[in-house]
Structure 1
Amino acid sequence: MYLFKNFSLKDIPTTPAALFSAYASFTAFVQLVRAMVEQILPKPLRLYIFNKLKDYFFPSRSSEDMTLVINLYSASRMTENQVYDAAEVYLATKVKPSDKLLLVSKTHDQKTISFANAKAATIIDTFEDIELKWSHICPVKRSDAVQNDNEPQKQCFMLRFGTKHKEKVMECYLPYVLAKAKDIKQEEKLLKIFSCGGNSSRSIGLEHPATFETMAMDPEQKKMVMDDLDRFVRRRDFYKRVGKAWKRGYLLYGPPGTGKSSLIAAMANHLKFDIYDLELSSISRNSDLRSVLLSTSNRSILVIEDIDCSVEAENRVVAEKFMGSRYNRPSQMKFTLSGLLNVIDGLWSCVGDERIIIFTTNHKDRLDPALLRPGRMDVHIHMSYCTPSGFRILASNYLGIHESNPHRLCGEIEGLIESTEVTPAQVAEELMQSDDADVALEGLVNFLKCKIQVDSKKTKDEGTKKAESFEEELEQLDNGTHPIFSKTSAAFYKDVI
């Protein structure tokens, strides 16, 4: 500080001779210092200090950074690289206010406009205080180059980060990107419903609005179904450990109009699973059924509605009887109950992962007992008639009437519902008659009262018919004319009398 205390700009030489003299003095000083350093410090130590100073003031990115190349296709170029696909989905969501290049899009299925990062931009991501730089490389084809459609495009992502973070990036960050991309795709997935049968399969978008919140089910039963579904999708390792196929079977049974189809749609919306509607009446052979199973994807629901009447599959006892002679085997025996059982619980049931099979029926008692056992139909869900709690959900859905502020007719309606058998579909139809809550609920009250009267009259008539039939049978027994008697036994009965 003392050397520069009295220093002034006026002291700087301005003439060429003075400048040359100052330069010569400075050069001589540097040479003197260099000679002293070479004499005092050994060469290896000098090189070490020089490299450290060089790296400090002029850092080399190649020595500190590591770059991962993520190609569009795998090394064998036979399949797409899942890491590339995951990076593409994940990076599209990394939109920041400072980004100046964005992709804007909207499909007819989306409610809002979506913004995504353009691949041309360098995207900086942060993971556990680690800075990671993503860039996309897509070589431009020359106009004079020979076009080869079979050659995959050499697109790739470049991921650059500090070399010291190599282990954390490979073991934590990349799996995080894969998992995050899977969640994003699942959230944005457009559900589809496939119609399967015979040799054809068609699909359309599944836009059914049913959810568990709108289902007119018993709250405890609804919670049981949701918990069972959530537990099923979490137990991949469990199914693998116990040696079982990762699938779950449900039987929905109950009268028509109780919401079986709506429950299937609610389950699909809850899990984000596609639906495959299998028409068994179009299946003529067991091999056709296996082909349909192979065409379904993972994370899907296979639906077989009205299993009791959709197809007349012969039982195994009859099948074995006819299989004894190949010449006498009828054509309808090509598709058997055994073939259906093998698909849902045999060797073919292990095709694919994370699948749900749902059967529906209006008459559970008509089903073959072999279908009902656990492993084929694991959960039996009775879709009952409308209950007071179900009515409250419907009133909230259709008229906006909540339990916190009930309508004056709600108590009367709940009492009438407990006194008769009415389906949720019938109640919903009455509530749709008017947007005015008073008019709609009064119409529902009149409907329920009429139904109670009709059911009472019907029950009374059935009782009268049964009584008349019983008296007629007693008279026939007394006269010996009942069909159970033959002519000989009838004559004997008269002789005894």
Structure 2
Amino acid sequence: MSSDGSGSGSYGRYFTMAASATAAVMLLRTVVSELLPDEVGELLRAAARGVRARVSSRHTVVIDEAEGLSANQLYDAARTYLAARVTPDVPRLRASRVDDAQGITVGMEQGEGMVDAHDGVDYTWTLVVSRDATASRAAGAAARRDKAARPEAKSFEVSFHRRHKDKALGSYLPHVVATAKAINDRQRSLKMHMVEYDVWTAVDLRHPSTFDTLAMDDKLKSSVIEDLQRFVRRKDYYRRIGRAWKRGYLLYGPPGTGKSSLVAAMANFLKFDIYDLELTEVKSNSDLRRLLVKTSNRSILVVEDIDCSIELQQRDEGERRATASAGEENDDKVTLSGLLNSVDGLWSTSGEERIIVFTTNYRERLDPALLRPGRMDMHIHMGYCTPESFRILARNYHSVENHVMYPEIEQLIQEVMVSPAEVAEVLMRNDNSDVVLQDLLEFLKEKRKQSGQSKDANENGD
């Protein structure tokens, strides 16, 4: 009995000592966190990490949320990558949704970890959230009094066996970045940016136009698609030849021929945001440069009806020399040279993988300086409706591949100047395909009667 009592007493003393040690550790953490200056606390934590590093067989890579004033792209990539790989083994998750068009995003909660296997190596990820001592000092005494008010510093820590360091840095982290980019390309909501009060304002881009639905001749459509695909895969090529990674497209043709729809189809095809630049809303060349510098990579800058936006009409050589001698670069307004420098000069190198699109109804009104290769690399004529584009519209609006009235309708379309927009408007008038095709036939006959100019003559004049 006495021995049992002695054993119970030993266990009791053991638990008392353990509880005291735990309490001491908690007290020490509290002292470090609450009483010692941030600098001293960080030094103690750094020393502890150093001791752990010397005795551990594992390496840890810390990926901070920000690098100075800039966002850390690797942190964003890790967050996206891990959100797609969260498993039920993680006990605490963080869920969010910021866009009605997107699903619920799930990620790790603070302090939680998960293991990801790649190429035969296990990598352990942990989300760490701490108070930013640097930001706290900048916030002043009030922030030091209120720990909860201090800015948070977030980071991911990925640890692995030290013998896999080269594989982690040379293979695994690039794999994380590439996978995250593919996920974002599939899931992200495209944005349309417009100028309001001298800054870009974004709204969701929900234009449904695609190359499948675009009323455009297949040969021309295929050439545009091939050009876009070639552009996006030539990053190394542009760098090797010393040119900015950008490409310019001029879309020209009569109103209603699908220029805006083609821009939307390009954006949906590439998953690029659109920046709709209304030059009449821009006050000066310096404002123009500031706006263009703030456009993102993988974007399309659109200047619609450029011939109507500002005075960029063609000038003869004498006028060019006179303007140059007078100093055309007037910063009190947007000038031709200011626009050219922004889209083709040193300012154009502030980003990469960008597309610039000018649209116009009258190509002949534009200054040749705007049209040369390197500024507008591909000129795309958006012409009147053709039999091929009519069939695309009929299939889009009525799911009709063929009809007894097609031969007569197509013959009339070859004879008269009718835009795809006009044909689409007629096709929307009725849900009955027989009725609507008869309406279109009558519309085309009336248009031929009223027209005094042949379609060929008009299109050859462009």
Same fold (TM over 0.5): yes
What is the letter of the counterpart of residue 430 of structure 1?
V
1:148 Cα deviation after fit? 6.4
Change (3 A) 1:393 1:99: farther
Aligned to 1:422: 418
What's the secondary structure of 1:412's corresponding residue?
A: helix
2:60 is aligned, of 62, 67, 75, to 67
Change (3 A) 1:84 1:454: same
Give yes or no for contact 2:329–2:337 (8 Å, CA) kept in 1. no
Q: Tell me the number of residue pairs that the alignment of Structure 1 and Structure 2 aligns.
A: 389
1:214 Cα deviation after fit? 1.0
What is the letter of the counterpart of residue 258 of structure 2?
G
Change (3 A) 1:382 1:97: same
What's the secondary structure of 1:353's corresponding residue?
A: coil
| Deviates most, 184-193 or 237-246 | 184-193
1:300 Cα deviation after fit? 1.6
Measure the CA separation in 2 of the matches of 1:289 and 1:140. Answer: 39
Aligned to 1:386: 385
Within 5 Å, give how 1:63-142 maps onto structure 2. Answer: 64-74=57-67, 77-96=68-87, 101-110=92-101, 112-116=103-107, 118=109, 121-139=112-130
1:393 Cα deviation after fit? 1.5
Change (3 A) 1:181 1:342: same
What's the secondary structure of 1:155's corresponding residue?
A: strand
1:152 Cα deviation after fit? 5.0
1:73 Cα deviation after fit? 3.8
Change (3 A) 1:219 1:325: closer
What's the secondary structure of 1:177's corresponding residue?
A: helix
Aligned to 1:471: none
Change (3 A) 1:155 1:119: same
Measure the CA separation in 1 of the matches of 2:60 and 2:184. Answer: 27
Measure the CA separation in 2 of the matches of 1:215 and 1:377. Answer: 22
1:443 is aligned, of 426, 432, 439, to 439
Provide, for residues 209-261 of structure 1, a one-character-per-residue CA deviation record: whole Å limited to 9, x for no partner: 11111101111111111111121111111111111111111100011000001
Give yes or no for contact 1:72–1:153 (8 Å, CA) kept in 2. no
| Deviates most, 220-229 or 306-315 | 306-315
What is the letter of the counterpart of residue 322 of structure 2?
K
What's the secondary structure of 2:421's corresponding residue?
A: helix
Residue 169 (structure 2) pairs with residue 173 (structure 1)? no
Change (3 A) 1:150 1:170: farther
Q: Percent identity?
A: 48
What is the letter of the counterpart of residue 441 of structure 1?
L
Provide, for residues 102-136 of structure 1, a one-character-per-residue CA deviation record: whole Å limited to 9, x for no partner: 54444553265555555554322121222222222
1:372 Cα deviation after fit? 1.5
Change (3 A) 1:330 1:156: closer
| Deviates most, 146-155 or 417-426 | 146-155
1:371 Cα deviation after fit? 1.6
Give yes or no for contact 1:124–1:131 (8 Å, CA) kept in 2. yes
1:338 Cα deviation after fit? 2.4
Provide, for residues 356-389 of structure 1, a one-character-per-residue CA deviation record: whole Å limited to 9, x for no partner: 1111111112222222111111000000111122
What's the secondary structure of 1:231's corresponding residue?
A: helix
Change (3 A) 1:109 1:79: same
TM-score of the pair, normalised by structure 1: 0.70
Change (3 A) 1:105 1:289: closer
Aligned to 2:241: 242
What is the letter of the counterpart of residue 354 of structure 1?
E
Provide, for residues 466-496 of structure 1, a one-character-per-residue CA deviation record: whole Å limited to 9, x for no partner: xxxxxxxxxxxxxxxxxxxxxxxxxxxxxxx
Residue 319 (structure 2) pairs with residue 318 (structure 1)? yes
Measure the CA separation in 1 of the matches of 2:77 and 2:435. Answer: 54
Aligned to 1:291: 290
State the superposition RMSD in angstroms.
3.2
Change (3 A) 1:163 1:255: same
Measure the CA separation in 2 of the matches of 1:335 and 1:104. Answer: 46
Give yes or no for contact 1:86–1:182 (8 Å, CA) kept in 2. yes
Within 5 Å, give how 1:357-396 maps onto structure 2. Answer: 357-396=356-395
What is the letter of the counterpart of residue 114 of structure 2?
I
Aligned to 1:409: 405
What is the letter of the counterpart of residue 211 of structure 2?
F
Aligned to 1:452: 448
Give yes or no for contact 1:197–1:283 (8 Å, CA) kept in 2. no
Give yes or no for contact 2:385–2:419 (8 Å, CA) kept in 1. yes
Within 5 Å, give how 1:109-258 maps onto structure 2. Answer: 109-110=100-101, 112-116=103-107, 118=109, 121-139=112-130, 146-147=145-146, 153-196=152-195, 199-258=198-257
Provide, for residues 35-87 of structure 1, a one-character-per-residue CA deviation record: whole Å limited to 9, x for no partner: xxxxxxxxxxxxxxxxxxxxxxxxxxx7554333333344xx55443322221
1:199 Cα deviation after fit? 3.1
TM-score of the pair, normalised by structure 2: 0.75
1:275 Cα deviation after fit? 1.6
Give yes or no for contact 1:197–1:279 (8 Å, CA) kept in 2. no
Give yes or no for contact 2:213–2:392 (8 Å, CA) kept in 1. yes
Change (3 A) 1:216 1:324: closer
Provide, for residues 427-446 of structure 1, a one-character-per-residue CA deviation record: whole Å limited to 9, x for no partner: 11111111222222221122
What is the letter of the counterpart of residue 71 of structure 1?
D
